[in-house]
């Protein structure tokens, strides 16, 4: 029986394992050791997607909701309060609810396909990075212990994002410059914070995509990249968790189609074109924010990098044929 090896220990890997085992395909899960994220904000869309994949209709329904989002964006802008609906969980809690059971550590025979939701990847890919943004995450104590909301603010040299996680605590994300510098320029978020703890580390925050995202090799069968191994989003725009689930749905549908007899080259072209199109939509959304966030050198540099990314995506998309497939539930079906 054809089987799949999945490398990863996050949302994309676990969702792929769930969907493939539900389809009767044997799966082995190779879990690399990595640090967990201290806090993840899950939108309603992400919760619905995950609940559907794992079959838990009431997933996270008992957790308190963040119901407001306050934004100060652009020079001289006034705070705007917007309705919001999301929950904050640790990555450990999220993965505890996603961890698949019907998988093994290794397969009896070499796999017909491999899913890379974490590195290292096959040595045939090239990484495209559009921007030079670095983010720092820090635990904070809030001035109002009752606050359970989120705040977003642009500064001269970057931007800040704050989420309350309950009991007077929260997590602060600082992008573009050091946390203390960004807070020194803050008119909104600095007022919400009583004290800032140690940073949990710095990480790249610019959009990134690899090429190719899938291939067929003489050794090891087919492979494809999924989740953050395939592309990464700017945390300012889009719901990274929801994107990871959607990529897992598409990746597993691609594998099932190939196992059912569809031509791998055609199905893989569909996979790459869909991922590239989604990445381009993300860059468009990012460009809108970076165009209006500020007018200093840092903002100009990041916007120029996003425009380079949009040009690259357009050129990449022109190399693909028209879409030959569409998703019907969790399966690909050919367009007539």
Query: Which of 179, 205, 231 corresponds to the end of one domain?
Result: 205
Return all residues near 138 (Cβ < 8 A) that are at least 6 apart.
Answer: 171, 172, 174, 179, 196, 197, 198, 199, 200
Q: 147: closest CA among 172, 125, 128, 168?
A: 168
Whether the upstream peptide bond of residue 80 has omega within 30° of 0, thus cis, is: no
Q: What is the CATH number of the domain that holds 78?
A: 3.30.9
Task: Count how many domains the chain has.
Answer: 2
Query: Which of 159, 182, 205 corresponds to the end of one domain?
Result: 205
Spatial contact of 302 and 158, defined as CB atoms under 8 Å apart: no
Distance from C-alpha of 239 to C-alpha of 151, rounded to nearest angstrom: 16
pLDDT score at 147 = 64
Structure tokens at 334: 């050919």
Query: Which of 148, 183, 205 corresponds to the end of one domain?
Result: 205
- 113 and 67 belong to one structural domain: no
Distance from C-alpha of 306 to C-alpha of 207, rounded to nearest angstrom: 8
Spatial contact of 86 and 41, defined as CB atoms under 8 Å apart: yes
- 163 and 298 belong to one structural domain: no
* Mean pLDDT computed over every residue of the chain: 91
Binned at pLDDT 50, 70 and 90, residue 128 comes out as very high
- 21 and 150 belong to one structural domain: no
Whether the upstream peptide bond of residue 110 has omega within 30° of 0, thus cis, is: no
How many other CB atoms are there within 10 angstroms of residue 61's CB atom? 11
Whether the upstream peptide bond of residue 62 has omega within 30° of 0, thus cis, is: no
- 169 and 263 belong to one structural domain: no
- 313 and 183 belong to one structural domain: no
- 61 and 73 belong to one structural domain: yes
In sequence order, what E strands does the chain have? 4-7, 27-30, 40-43, 66-72, 80-89, 113-116, 126-129, 134-142, 150-155, 158-166, 169-175, 193-204, 208-211, 214-216, 222-225, 231-232, 325-328, 331-334
> What are the pLDDT digits (tens) for 43-98?
999 999 999 998 888 889 888 888 889 999 998 899 999 998 899 888 899 998 88
- 141 and 233 belong to one structural domain: no
- 301 and 271 belong to one structural domain: yes
Distance from C-alpha of 235 to C-alpha of 89, rounded to nearest angstrom: 16
> What are the pLDDT digits (tens) for 213-246?
999 864 558 999 999 999 999 999 867 899 999 9
Longest dimension (CA), the chain: 63
Pick the more confident residue, 36 or 316. 316
Structure tokens at 187: 């008119």
Structure tokens at 282: 């993300």
How is the chain split among helix, strand and coil, in percent rounded to 5? Answer: 35, 30, 35
Question: Phi and psi (nearest 5°) for 149?
Answer: -145, -170
Distance from C-alpha of 143 to C-alpha of 141, rounded to nearest angstrom: 7
> What are the pLDDT digits (tens) for 256-285?
999 999 999 999 999 999 999 999 999 999
- β-pairing, 66-72 vs 80-89, is antiparallel
- 175 and 241 belong to one structural domain: no
Model pTM? 0.93
Q: What is the CATH number of the domain that holds 30?
A: 3.50.50.60
pLDDT score at 146 = 66
- 213 and 111 belong to one structural domain: yes
Q: Is 104 helix (H, G, I), strand (E, B) or coil?
A: strand
What range defines the domain where residue 324 resides?
Answer: 4-38+92-131+206-334
- 200 and 217 belong to one structural domain: no
Asked if residue 211 has pLDDT above 90, the reply is yes
């Amino acid at each position: 029986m054809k089987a799949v090896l999945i490398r990863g220990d996050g949302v994309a890997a676990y969702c792929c394992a769930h969907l493939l085992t539900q389809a009767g395909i044997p799966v082995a899960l190779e879990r690399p050791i990595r640090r967990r994220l201290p806090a993840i904000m899950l939108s309603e869309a992400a919760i619905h997607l995950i609940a559907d994949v794992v079959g838990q209709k009431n997933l996270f329904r008992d957790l308190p909701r963040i119901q407001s989002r306050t934004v100060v964006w652009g020079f001289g802008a006034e705070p705007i309060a917007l309705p919001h609906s999301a929950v904050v969980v640790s990555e450990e809690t999220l993965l505890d609810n996603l961890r698949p059971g019907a998988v093994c550590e290794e397969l009896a025979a070499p796999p017909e396909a491999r899913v890379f939701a974490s590195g290292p990847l096959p040595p045939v890919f090239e990484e495209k990075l559009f921007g030079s943004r670095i983010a720092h995450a820090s635990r904070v104590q809030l001035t109002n212990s009752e606050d359970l909301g989120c705040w977003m603010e642009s500064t001269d040299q970057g931007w800040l994002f704050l989420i309350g996680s309950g009991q007077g605590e929260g997590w602060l994300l600082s992008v573009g410059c050091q946390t203390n510098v960004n807070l020194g320029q803050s008119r909104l978020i600095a007022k919400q914070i009583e004290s800032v703890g140690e940073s949990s580390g710095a990480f790249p925050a610019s959009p990134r995509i690899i090429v190719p995202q899938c291939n067929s090799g003489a050794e090891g069968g087919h492979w494809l990249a999924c989740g953050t191994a395939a592309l990464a989003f700017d945390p300012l725009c889009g719901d990274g968790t929801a994107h990871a689930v959607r990529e897992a749905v598409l990746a597993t549908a691609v594998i099932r189609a190939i196992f059912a007899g569809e031509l791998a080259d055609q199905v893989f072209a569909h996979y790459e074109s869909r991922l590239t199109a989604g990445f381009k939509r993300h860059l468009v959304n990012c460009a809108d924010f970076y165009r209006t966030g500020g007018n200093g050198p840092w903002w100009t540099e990041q916007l120029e990098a996003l425009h380079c990314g949009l040009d690259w995506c357009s050129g990449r998309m022109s190399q693909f044929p028209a879409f030959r497939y569409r998703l019907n539930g969790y399966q690909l079906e050919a367009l007539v």
